[in-house]
Amino acid sequence: MKDGREVKVRRAYDEPSRTDGTRVLVDRIWPRGLSKEKARFDEWCKAVAPSTALRKWYAHDPERFEEFARRYRAELEEPERAEALRHLRDLAGRGPLTLLTATKYADISEATVLSGLLQD
């Protein structure tokens, strides 16, 4: 945790925790089966999500995670995504931040890549 930033990664379907701080969904697609009423997010930051092409190529294949992370970090340099990343960095500087994803394996998701970048 550099600069005292606390950035966690959790599944969008998990019950909120008192220690979550600001909860931000970082997926491009709304979580399947989760109603807007039951979604306890402070924000939905679609702009920071990986491109559809990258997401489909990756398909959450653990063997592709390192290459996915490399390609995703490159995408995050594009202006719209870079601005969204700056916004998340600002939120992380204000207090605890929890990045939410609907993927079954949050530890190999874009949220995990973002968490690493936000804590650097």
Residues forming a β-bridge with 43: 24
* Residue 89 token pair: 């960095």
CB-count burial class (<10 Å; 0-12, 13-18, 19+) for 64: middle
pLDDT surpasses 80 at 48: yes
pLDDT surpasses 50 at 120: yes
pLDDT digits (tens, 9 = 90+) for 29-42: 999 999 888 889 99
Q: How much is the pLDDT for 3?
A: 55
* Domain ranges across the chain: 2-119
Q: What angle do CA 49, 35, 9 make, to 5 degrees?
A: 40
Cα 17 to Cα 32, 41, 51, 83, 88, distances in angstroms: 21, 12, 29, 28, 19
pLDDT digits (tens, 9 = 90+) for 80-118: 999 999 999 999 999 999 999 999 999 999 999 999 999
What confidence category does residue 11 fall into, taking pLDDT thresholds of 50, 70 and 90? very high
Q: CB-hemisphere CA count at 13 Å for 17?
A: 13
Q: How much is the pLDDT for 1?
A: 42
CB-count burial class (<10 Å; 0-12, 13-18, 19+) for 111: buried
